């Protein structure tokens, strides 16, 4: 939801039958119509598999899929940094008449922290309860859609959104956010982390019909190259910067918040109880995932400089002469025991070299034929990656310029985690290209260094129409 300061998510999928979606221009009236049309699938072009569907046809919520609080809570929860006034609890979540009801009530309830909340409400999510209950469903790329009837009233804040299975607060894809005092405005938001670690936010508001007056579908098509928002089957916004688009599993959330910094407190005209009603939630994935081409394999041979010297800024450029550098295959480093190539750190184990430099030259096709690039990096402790002289990714490093003596931030993964990032193909050259990586230690007596990188490309031609 909007400007969230907290975290949540994660999942294990239930296999469902493959369903072919025929390319169609679906009208808003066909999707937002009477009960007889509620079971029709949302349609956008292409061939898709239905990987998750809950039509809420039983008499109770499917607890194997859904949890009724955020990942950090078992019974009651709220998002305090947003100054929300509701306490989420299972009693305000119900299933009847083929619908999921998330109800907000004006009543005093005591929370886990002994705070008294003056409103209670309902939420559901498929991320599970960390360490207690496994995720009910996660997915990477796909079309998530919900058919919803929202309430009207100041201070009411229904939402349908996605969060990462890593239980981080970002990236966050807000499929639908509607404030009850402006029920004809759909707010579509994306909150992400930039390559340098800073936060980015993008969004669009779209004025439509009074969404509280009937049923409407809200969907998002999340792919490697773009995120596209739909209202009643019609595209309303597109975000297309693949360098910050998520490439990790995410899970589903739906909730009805009350009050908070954004919507404000309910007023005397806000009706209680109120509910957001959900007819169905579905996730589709493309039947034929785009194939990828490896540009730099994980076991590539790299040139490296491990003598403690500072090569200057020119070392990142394709024209730099690295012929006197050593060479070896990845994994490169020392101290882990899994290295293919062991690099040096100097004569004094208590004052090891801060920075080790790596370069690799590879061949790429015409970048206009590529849909996206995916970078995979293992690093210990921190690293900055450059493509053809331009910085494309920074991990566990301070912002600003770096030198051979710049220390990394403290790392908790010890080089055993693979970090991924989407890279814009426009940074490539048709033909020869150069990747340059500098790996920095957090302390000069650090026990190990790790560097392993791979780069893959997804061609446009491989994506279904």
Mind telling me the catalytic residues?
Answer: 172, 177
Among 61, 37, 43, smallest CA distance to 214 is for 37
First to last CA, the chain: 31
79-106 burial: b if 16+ Cβ within 10 Å, else e: beebebbbbbbbebbbbeeebbbbbbbb
Q: Which residues contact 233 (CB under 8 A, 6 or more apart)?
A: 25, 26, 27, 28, 30, 31, 42, 43, 44, 217, 219
Separation CA 152–CA 182 (nearest Å): 8
Rg of the chain in Å (alpha carbons): 25
Q: Residue 392: which H helix or E strand, with range?
A: strand 390-395
Among 451, 452, 435, smallest CA distance to 315 is for 435
**Tokens in use for 439?**
């790996």
Separation CA 155–CA 157 (nearest Å): 6
Structural contact between residues 434 and 388, judged by C-beta atoms closer than 8 angstroms: yes
**Tokens in use for 308?**
């403690």
Between the CA of residue 198 and those of 194, 315, 389, 409, what are the distances in Å?
A: 5, 26, 21, 14
How many CB atoms are located within 10 Å of the residue 449 CB? 27
Structural contact between residues 100 and 124, judged by C-beta atoms closer than 8 angstroms: yes
Q: Residue 31: which H helix or E strand, with range?
A: helix 28-31
Query: Using alpha carbons only, what angle is made at residue 144 by residues 141 and 147, rounded to the nearest 5 degrees?
Result: 175
Separation CA 174–CA 261 (nearest Å): 17
């Amino acid at each position: 939801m909007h400007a969230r300061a907290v975290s949540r998510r994660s999942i294990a999928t239930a296999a469902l039958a493959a369903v072919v979606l025929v390319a169609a221009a679906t009208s808003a009236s066909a999707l937002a119509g009477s009960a007889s049309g509620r079971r029709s699938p949302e349609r956008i072009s292409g061939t898709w598999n239905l990987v998750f569907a809950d039509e809420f046809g039983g008499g109770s919520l499917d607890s194997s899929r859904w949890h009724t609080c955020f990942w950090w809570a078992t019974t009651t929860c709220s998002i305090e940094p947003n100054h929300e006034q509701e306490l989420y609890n299972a009693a305000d979540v119900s299933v009847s008449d083929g619908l999921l009801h998330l109800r907000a009530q004006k009543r005093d309830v005591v929370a886990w922290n002994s705070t008294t909340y003056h409103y209670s409400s309902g939420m559901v999510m498929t991320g599970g309860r960390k360490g207690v209950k496994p995720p009910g469903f996660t997915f990477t790329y796909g079309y998530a859609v919900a058919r919803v009837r929202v309430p009207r009233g100041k201070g009411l804040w229904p939402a349908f959104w996605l969060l990462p299975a890593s239980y981080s607060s970002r990236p966050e894809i807000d499929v639908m956010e509607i404030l009850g005092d402006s029920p004809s405005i759909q707010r579509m938001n994306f909150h992400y982390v930039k390559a340098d670690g800073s936060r980015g936010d993008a969004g669009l508001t779209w004025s439509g019909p009074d969404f509280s007056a009937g049923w409407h579908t809200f969907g998002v098509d999340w792919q490697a190259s773009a995120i596209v928002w739909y209202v009643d089957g019609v595209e309303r916004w597109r975000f297309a910067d693949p360098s910050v688009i998520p490439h990790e599993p995410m899970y589903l959330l739906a909730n009805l918040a009350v009050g908070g910094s954004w919507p404000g407190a309910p007023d005397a005209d806000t009706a209680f109880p109120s509910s957001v009603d959900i007819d169905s939630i579905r996730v589709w994935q493309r039947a034929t995932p785009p194939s990828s081409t490896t540009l730099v394999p994980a076991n590539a041979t790299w040139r490296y400089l491990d003598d403690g010297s500072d090569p200057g800024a020119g070392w990142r450029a394709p024209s730099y002469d690295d012929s006197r550098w050593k060479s070896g295959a990845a994994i490169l480093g020392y101290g882990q025991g899994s290295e293919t190539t062991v690099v040096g750190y100097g004569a004094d184990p208590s004052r090891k070299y801060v920075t080790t430099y790596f370069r690799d030259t590879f061949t790429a096709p015409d970048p206009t034929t590529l849909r996206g690039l995916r970078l995979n990096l293992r690093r210990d402790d921190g690293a900055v990656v450059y493509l053809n002289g331009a910085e494309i990714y920074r991990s566990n490093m301070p912002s600003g310029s770096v030198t051979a003596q710049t220390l990394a931030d403290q790392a908790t993964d010890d080089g055993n985690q693979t970090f991924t990032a989407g890279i814009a193909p426009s940074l490539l050259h048709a033909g020869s290209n150069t990747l340059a990586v500098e790996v920095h230690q957090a302390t000069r007596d650090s026990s190990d260094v790790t560097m392993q990188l791979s780069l893959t490309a997804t061609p446009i031609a491989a994506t279904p129409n």
